[in-house]
Amino acid sequence: MMFTYRLLIPIIAFNCCLFNINNALINPPLASSSAQNPDSLNKNLTCEEFCAISKASSGTFRRQPGYYHQHNNDEELPQQLVIKEQIFRGTRQPLNEWLHQSSRHRTLANEDYLRQSSIIFGLTQIANEDYLSPACFRNLKELGKAVLRKDVWAMKVLDSSGSKNAGFLWGQNYWLGSQDGCEAVQEPVYITLSDQYERAMKKGLINDLAPYEMDYRVVYIRHDSPWQVEIKFMTERIIHVGLCLPKSCSNAEVYNLTQSYMDWGYFEEANVYDINPEVIHIKDLRLRDDFFDKISFKIVTVAVILTAVLMFLALWQNSVCDEKKSNVERTLITTSGTEPRDDTKKSKDNEETSKKEKNGRELSISNFIRCFDLINNGRSLFTFEQASPSSIPVINGLRSVSCLWIMLFHVIWYMYFTVDNKTFLISLGERAFFQYVSTAPLLVDVFFTISGFLSVYNFIRNEKNLQRIANSSFVDNCKAFGRMVLHRYLRLAPLYLILTAIVEIFTAYTEDVSLFHIHERYDQTCPKFWWRNVLLIQNLFSHEHLCLNWTWSLACEMQFYIIGIGALFTYVKYPKTIKGLAVLGLLSSVLWTAFVGFEINYRLSFDVMYHTGTQMYINPFIRISPYIVGSIAGWFLATTKGQFSVNTVFEKCAWNLAILIFFSCIYSTVKRDMSELYTVGLYVFGRLFFSCAIAWVILGSATGRGVWWSRFLELTPFQHLNKLSYGIYLLNPFVVSFVFSLSSTSTHADPIMLCVQTSGFIVIVYICSIIFSLSFEMPYCNISSLLLRRKVKTA
């Protein structure tokens, strides 16, 4: 009898081993279920366990480590352990009953695991017909049952719905799942696969569809987990969860259902990371019905149509003029029998040119339409001319390079709301190699220095204008001052204002259809504060309420121009007073900057720099010092007429010091955790010396004392980029943020990919700037020039 008993146990064990191996191949257990529920380790009786049982032929039962957990008696032991003990006690429990119970336990374990790890499955489990519409309740319950049955369409829904991704500690708040995968539940994926090869995939994985309409939604959940690095830099603690849900469920139902799921503590990740989730918004990624009723949409539509019509009329007008000219030439050939001689042609061309120039000064409908001539404007934009003796070509290079350099920074800044490793992105900005990107905002001072230089230089070297101002009355000078300010405004405003309306429209569009939570809501700030942008005074208010927050420098520049032109009109009659005020203004700006820096405890860390933007970054009185430095340089060059002498040693030292100061300022923030005194001193004097270095580059190049790298900035192609610099400056933040907002996945900041993306954006923004410059900048600049030199037609 004992011999038979010893022989029976190995045979049973061997057969059960074969069954378990076969069962594992058909229905493998979820790999991570043991991590969620330790008891699930006991649900499958493996071959090794049975072999261990078979070796216990002496009758001594050896329980495996980990099976006890906190159980103290057989009644509390897992069912499979009880079964094993019953085998040793000689109990004859049928094997098929045990297998049925094992399968049931495994199903319950899978269901419990999915409820805790999958938000979409958890919603199907807590759905209550008392709080949901009948269709929504029915569809959710059917989805839950289909997932447990492992129906193909249900598994596609489960797979396309988001769950926690790795990297939560470093800012991975984008659990977006797959919007394409959710669409594949509603429409087949059109892909051709041949039947020549055997594929280890479920039948119908591509073509099986849901029995009812599904819809991709994004749930936005605010959290306050201590297990995530908080940078305090724009909105960052919002989890984006993409869910593939029945279309019959409304956003309000999804909101209440998701919040209940979080409140009841079913979501295990929230418990592990102390997320304390709060649902704040549900987005169905559909455009709102009132989108086309926006005033800005109507303004842009009218502006685009009007500009297109004027361009067409300009082309038609040119074609008519060319036809008349050719008819005149044919008439001359017919009457004379010979073609006009070259000198006759040149004489006629000169007469026509002088006539056009004379007529071009007249304010007429024909000249107004000619301002929109696409061919002439395009020819002017792409013409590479030799620099005139009075021009300073290095300015073209400084503007162009600075514009593209700042664009590198804008790519990183305006993609930030989609980045899933924000901590490492900020860390990249603090590395020595990437200082040229993180300190790029310093190059805004290049534009201020150039603007101050050109305003003063062009004003003072015009001796006729100075004589006219000196002999004019106060009222006449006020009129002249108003004309100059209006001319400046008309050159800047059209492209700037039309872009303001476009950005407001597209922000509203992305808020509706983008997967991402939009932090900078220009569709809300622009309707409220549009008048600040029209008046170019938006930099006088908080940086958090800016409509197009990158246009603060444009407002500063316009304000500096008004102050500078007013000072120049006064300079003509009271030169010593204005010289003293200029020096006093520069010293006051430096001292005020230092005072504010100490007052707010300024630091170089990105969080402090962001939150002190109103006081230290966009404040016009703090930013005016480079403009004053440039103005002093322009005054010096104009009054000396470029005829100042310096010895060779000083010249070499000045050029070397300029390039040294430039790169020292760029790489001065490698170490950011410095004392308050060092930080404020660096900010104040670094910007001052940086402006002086730029001023010397302009002065040195203007007098022919350039070096190899300044001559590089004088190359002809920079003339073309300089003409587009205003368009590039205005457009690049909009293009970058719009492109990233339409992405279907989050962005992972990687140095190599950043280089590739930036190169692509340079090309895209360049093309866009050509279109916008030809449409909304150059025509209105022509109109401004026409108004300034107008000679009203009397006949």
Q: How many CB atoms are closer than 10 A to CB 129?
A: 12
Average pLDDT over residues 482-492: 92
Q: In the numeric block, which tokens belong to residue 18?
A: 């074969």
- The Cα 631–Cα 578 span in angstroms is 12
**Residue 554: phi, psi to the nearest 5?**
-65, -40
Q: Which of 161-165, 216-220, 564-568 has the lowest mean pLDDT?
A: 161-165
Q: Return the pLDDT at 528.
A: 93
Which of 91, 144, 111 is closest to 36 using CA atoms?
Answer: 111
Residue 784 has pLDDT above 50, yes or no: yes
Give the residue ranges of DSSP H helices in 667-777.
676-702, 708-713, 717-741, 751-772
High-pLDDT (> 90) share of the chain, %: 56
Spatial neighbors of 343 by CB under 8 A, at least 6 apart, are: none
pLDDT tens-digit map of 721-733: 999 999 999 999 9
CA 439 → CA 444, 595, 730, distances in Å?
A: 10, 22, 19
pLDDT tens column, 665-675: 999 888 888 88
Least confident of 25-29, 300-304, 463-467: 25-29
pLDDT at residue number 156: 94
Contact present, 472 and 481 (Cβ < 8 Å): no
Question: Which is it for strands 278-283 and 214-222: parallel, antiparallel or unpaired?
Answer: antiparallel
Interval 393-448: pLDDT, tens: 999 999 999 999 999 999 999 999 999 999 999 888 888 888 888 888 899 999 99
Long-range contacts of 179-182 (CB under 8 A, 24+ apart): 179/216, 179/242, 179/285, 179/515, 179/744, 180/744, 181/156, 181/244, 182/157, 182/214, 182/215, 182/216, 182/242, 182/244
Rounded to the nearest integer, the mean pLDDT of the chain is: 82
Average pLDDT over residues 279-307: 92
Quickly state the pLDDT bin for 21 (edges 50, 70, 90).
Answer: very low
Q: Which two tokens stand for residue 656?
A: 């070397």
Residues 578-592: what's their mean pLDDT?
Answer: 95
Mean pLDDT computed over 239-267: 93
pLDDT exceeds 90 at position 537: yes
pLDDT at 577 over 60: yes
Residue 195 in this model has a pLDDT that exceeds 50: yes
DSSP track, 623-679: HTHHHHHHHHHHHHHHHHTT-----HHHHHHHHHHHHHHHHHHHTTTSS----HHHH
* 67, pLDDT greater than 60: no
The predicted model gives 239-260 an average pLDDT of 95
User: Which of 30-34, 385-389, 559-563 is predicted with the least confidence, judged by mean pLDDT?
Assistant: 30-34
pLDDT at 792 over 50: no
Give me 248's structure tokens: 């019959």
Starting at the edge strand found earlier in the chain, the sheet holding 214-222 runs 174-175, 238-246, 214-222, 278-283
Listed in order, strand segments (DSSP E) in 48-197 are 174-175
- Residue 766 in contact with residue 728, Cβ under 8 Å? yes
Residue 262 to residue 258: CA distance in whole angstroms? 6
Q: Which of 279-283, 292-296, 632-636, 642-646 has the lowest mean pLDDT?
A: 642-646
What whole-number distance in Å separates Cα of residue 115 and Cα of residue 144?
10
Give residue 107's pLDDT band: very low, low, confident or very high (50, 70, 90): low
pLDDT at residue 13 tops 70: no
Residue 438: the pLDDT is 86
Question: What single-letter amino acid sits at 557?
Answer: E
CA distance 456 to 449: 11
Residue 17 clears pLDDT 90, i.e. is over it: no
Instruction: Give the chain's end-to-end CA distance (angstroms, integer).
Output: 132
| Joined tokens for residue 350 | 């000169």
Assign 105 a pLDDT band (cuts: 50, 70, 90): low
Say how far apart CA 156 and CA 206 lie, in whole Å.
Answer: 9
Mean pLDDT, to the nearest integer, of 282-286? 92
Helix (H) or strand (E) holding 239: strand 238-246
pLDDT at 333: 58
What is the maximum alpha-carbon separation in the chain? 137
In the predicted model, is pLDDT for residue 109 greater than 80?
no
Instruction: Give the per-residue pLDDT at 92.
Output: 44
Tokens found for residue 761: 């954006």
Q: What is the distance between the alpha carbons of residues 416 and 410, in angstroms, rounded to a whole number?
A: 10
Report the C-alpha gap between 143 and 244 in whole angstroms: 11
Average pLDDT of the segment spanning 157-173: 92
Given CA atoms 241, 242, 246, 251 in this order, what sign does their dihedral have? positive
Instruction: Give the integer Cα–Cα distance in Å for 333 and 323.
Output: 15
Report, as an integer, the average pLDDT of 214-233: 92
pTM for the structure as a whole? 0.81
Section 758-781 average pLDDT: 94
Mean pLDDT of 330-358: 52
How much is the pLDDT for 669? 86
How far is Cα 277 from Cα 271, in angstroms, rounded to an integer?
10
Beta carbons of 244 and 214 less than 8 angstroms apart: yes
Reported confidence tier of residue 94, pLDDT bands at 50, 70, 90: low
